[in-house]
Amino acid sequence: MSLKIRPYSPSDRQAVREICCDTGFMGKPIDPVYIDRDAFADFFTRYYTDKEPENALVAEDEGRVVGYLLGCLDFNSVNRKQLWLIITRTVPKILGRIITLQYNMASIKFLSWFLFKAAGQTPKSVPEAAHFHINMYTEFRTGIAGRRLIFPFVNRVAKLGFKGVYGQMQVYEDRRSEKVFERYGFKFIDRKEVTKFKDYYDQQVWVATIYNEFEKKDDPPLPAVK
């Protein structure tokens, strides 16, 4: 495996959306859970690729995009802008597909979860901190690959003066992922159980918030009084 990490380009948009959908069901394709790949990719990637593309990175293997980090620095406006995108761009498409009977019952159930339960099953964010979302094809999900994507973003955010950076990720009964991120300076500060896969997976699944708070620099010494 020889990964190249580089800045996101608009030409990577479709590849990012495909990775999102190909891994959306616990590392596997989202299709059995939600048939509308276009809307699913909108929910989880569109804000980042369309509104903050300068804060995204991709991992490339032999010319193929196999992973991404989508970052957000605009913590004051992200929720409002993301909601506006969904209402104006995604909802009309969903309504059209429902009216024309393109959705199956599994898709209706997932959409109901997204609209009425997702917010309540999202762990807390960190006010005034940057955040990121990372995803890769399953075969590239190694500690080294993830670290190579995350830390260029973390280091850049630290230099810009943010108080810290957080991410949110799915975790299971196995706590190995927590130990890995703790070695990299992140702490797990909250997690909530998500139920969107309950019909397909018989164990508990959580989404957790991991946070890296940057050390505060000491104030410069006061000038001596003469």
* Statement: residue 143 has pLDDT above 60: yes
Domains of the chain: 3-213 (3.40.630.30)
Confidence of residue 145 (pLDDT cuts 50, 70, 90): confident
* Statement: residue 223 has pLDDT above 50: no
Segment 6-14 long-range contacts (CB within 8 Å, at least 24 positions apart) = 6/57, 6/58, 6/60, 7/54, 7/56, 7/57, 7/58, 8/49, 8/53, 8/56, 8/57, 8/58, 8/68, 8/70, 9/58, 10/49, 10/53, 12/58, 12/65, 12/68, 13/49
Task: Kindly list the distances between the CA atom of residue 90 and the CA atoms of 86, 97, 159, 207, in Å, as whole numbers in the listed order.
Answer: 5, 11, 35, 24
The two structure tokens encoding residue 14 = 């479709």
**Is 17 in a helix, a strand, or coil?**
helix
Which residue, among 46, 213, 216, has the nearest Cα to 126 in the 3D structure? 213
The two structure tokens encoding residue 150 = 């995350």
What's the chain's average pLDDT? 91
Query: Which of 62-71, 140-149, 158-167, 211-220 is least confident?
Result: 211-220
CA distance 62 to 106: 36
Which residue, among 51, 71, 68, has the nearest Cα to 131 in the 3D structure? 71
What is the mean pLDDT of the segment spanning 154-174? 90
- Please count the other Cβ atoms lying within 10 Å of the Cβ belonging to residue 139: 11
Confidence of residue 171 (pLDDT cuts 50, 70, 90): confident
Confidence of residue 219 (pLDDT cuts 50, 70, 90): very low
CA distance 146 to 152: 11
Q: Quick one: pLDDT at residue 112?
A: 96
**Is 68 in a helix, a strand, or coil?**
strand
What is the mean pLDDT of the segment spanning 110-136? 95
Q: Quick one: pLDDT at residue 117?
A: 95
* Statement: residue 225 has pLDDT above 50: no
